[in-house]
Structures are given as structure tokens and as C-alpha cells.
Amino acid sequence: MKIGFYPGSFDPITFGHVDIATRGAKLFDKLYVAVSRNPNKKMMFSAEERFELVKEVLKDIPNIEVIRSDILTVEHCRQLGATHILRGLRAVTDYDYEFQQTNFNRTISNEIDTVFLMTEGRYSFLSSSSVRELAVFKGDVSPFVPDVVKKAIFAKLK
Ligand code: ADP
């Protein structure tokens, strides 16, 4: 059984993440989508809220299991028997960070490799931070996030 691990902050989950998760689920028998706590980032949603939103949005994909992650990605992969980390690539600006992170992970554990999926063109400029910013300025986030996420953003900003 081929098991993948797609980690992220998902603050909040966008159609870009959904695209990568949906396509990634076709590459593995099972795909864990891991919502990380990421203490280095200032978040709009708590870990619990992000987790619940991701679970709701991806609930119709049978081989995806949404989990929380508070430990090192490679360690978590080992515990779950995942052989591959899945990441999305938008533009060359993602490349530097991902290249560094992939090699770092490989140094910690050379059994776990990382695979990348290129985002669909229409999502290449989409990020959770741009959605958050747009929402703060009362812009319409509908083209970028599922309805349940849109509602959660507006509840949060009330
Ligand atoms: P992290 O803090 O781990 O970067 P993110 O939630 O920002 O968490 O992103 C998780 C993963 O999803 C990353 O691999 C990122 O490149 C990818 N991703 C984010 N937005 C998009 C998008 N619009 N299209 C494709 N991949 C995306």
C-alpha cells in the first residue's frame, strides 16, 4: 500500500490546496492530509478550526484522512508508514523554500522522498494569506475558497 503525506498550515484551506489534495489522492492508495500547528506563523484560525475545515472540505474523497500534526514531518511519515511527502508548487517563488525543505528532510531521513504537483494555472496566484487579506478588506473570497471556509472567515472577522 502506497501512503502519502500532504502537510500544510491550511490557514485556511483554499481551492489550490483542494486541487493538490484531489490530484494527490490519485497517486496514493491512502493520503494523509496533515494540518500542522506551525508555531512560527501567525494564524487566523486555531489548529482545531483549520483541522475541522480541511476535514469538512475533503470529506468526499474516500482515501484521504485528515489528521493533525505537531511533530516533525518525516517522523510523522515514519509513524504512519508514509513513503512520500506531497507538496504543491505554484511559481518559482515556492521553489527555493521547497528545495531547501526537501533536502533538509532528506538529510533527516533518506527513506522519505517528496513529490510535487504543479498547481493548475488558475490557482497559481492563490495563497491562504492573500485570501485572508482580501477578506479583511471585505473582498469577495468566493472564487478562492469553498463556501464553508468563506462562512468561517466571515464569522471570524465579525
Ligand atoms: P505551509 O505553511 O506548509 O507552506 P500552506 O498551507 O501554505 O502550508 O501550503 C501547504 C502546501 O500547499 C504547500 O506545498 C503549498 O505550496 C501548497 N499550496 C498552497 N497554495 C497552493 C495553490 N494555490 N496551488 C498549489 N499548491 C498550493
Q: Which helix (H) or strand (E) holds 86?
A: strand 84-89
pLDDT in tens, 52-88: 999 999 999 999 999 999 999 999 999 999 999 999 9
pLDDT, residue 93, reads 81
The three-point CA angle 147-28-79 to 5° equals 95
Residues 135 and 157: beta-carbon distance below 8 Å: yes
Q: Determine if residue 127 is left, alpha or beta; phi over 0 gives left, psi from -120 to 50 gives alpha, anything else beta.
A: beta
Q: Is 90 considered catalytic here?
A: yes
**Rounded distance between C-alpha atoms, residue 93 and residue 35, angstroms:** 22
Q: What is the pTM of this model?
A: 0.94
Which residue in 41, 122, 151, 156 is the catalytic one?
41
Span from the CA of 44 to the centroid of ligand 1 (angstroms): 16
**Rounded distance between C-alpha atoms, residue 138 and residue 123, angstroms:** 21
pLDDT in tens, 83-110: 999 999 998 888 889 999 999 988 888 8
Q: Which helix (H) or strand (E) holds 31?
A: strand 30-36
Give me the domains of the chain, ranges plus CATH numbers.
3-157 (3.40.50.620)
Which residue in 9, 36, 69, 128 is the catalytic one?
128
pLDDT, residue 40, reads 76
pLDDT in tens, 8-33: 999 999 999 999 999 999 999 999 99
Sign of the dihedral defined by the CA atoms of residues 12, 61, 33, 17, in that order:
negative
